[in-house]
Chains A and B, each alone.
Chain A
Amino acid sequence: KQEVTQIPAALSVPEGENLVLNCSFTDSAIYNLQWFRQDPGKGLTSLLLIQSSQREQTSGRLNASLDKSSGRSTLYIAASQPGDSATYLCAVGETSGSRLTFGEGTQLTVNP
């Protein structure tokens, strides 16, 4: 059974700092990995999708990497802003990616 762990559970940083969120998974036979953000009481917003054959994806200030063999992914956020404050969720896709297994999330607070 796939298990996904995210570290740290919570993170508070000053504005402008670069930061790294970590995600690990137990079964390396994944189809893809997706990073989401969730604002309180809201749905999930897709940030980045990495296919199992890829090593990284970039979008603006975000960069996500994937190391299947070691069962790890990282989300790098450059020059953090208060608007980045949210919970960040890592999800591993199996069986053609349609079934996602989620980590517990990292609650990020960026202080002005």
Chain B
Amino acid sequence: KAGVTQTPRYLIKTRGQQVTLSCSPISGHRSVSWYQQTPGQGLQFLFEYFSETQRNKGNFPGRFSGRQFSNSRSEMNVSTLELGDSALYLCASSYGHKEHTEAFFGQGTRLTVV
């Protein structure tokens, strides 16, 4: 069974640009969550999508957005990039309901903003 796949693995962008990250969950999982990891703030929750609907949202500015497709694949978009957006972005997938909530993470996308 394939794990959670994130693409690309590494990305370098210039301040002011926008970026789209992709996450393919484990087959059968309908919940995809996104997290930002930085040395100063640790792991912080961005948002969660379940069956194409945003179900939970963290405390990030509106420049951070996401969506989920009918096959459960999810994309995260960051517009008007700032230097502080440099981070490891991780996505997690799970069944997302009842007792089946164990989260499985991808390898992450390392975003560097210069």
Binding site for B on A (CB under 8 A): 31-32, 34, 36, 41-46, 49, 51, 89, 91, 93, 95-105
Contacts and interface: CB of A to CB of B under 8 A. Distances in A.
B90 A44 contact: yes
B24 interface: no
A71 B40 CA distance: 25
A99 B56 contact: yes
The prevalent SS among residues of B at the interface is strand
Given A43-B107, A43-B108, A102-B42, A96 B101 contact: yes
Contacts, number: 70
B23 to A, nearest CB: 11
The prevalent SS among residues of A at the interface is strand
Contacts of B99: 51
B113 interface: no
A95 B47 CA distance: 13
Q: Range of interface residues on chain B? A: 20 to 34
A99 B33 contact: yes
A46 B42 contact: no
Contacts of A91: 43, 103
A89 B101 contact: no
Contacts of B55: 98
B50 A34 contact: no
Interface string B95-114: 01111011111111010000
A17 to B, nearest CB: 27
Contacts of A95: 56
Interface in B8-39: 31, 33, 35
Contacts of A100: 33, 35, 43, 45, 92, 103
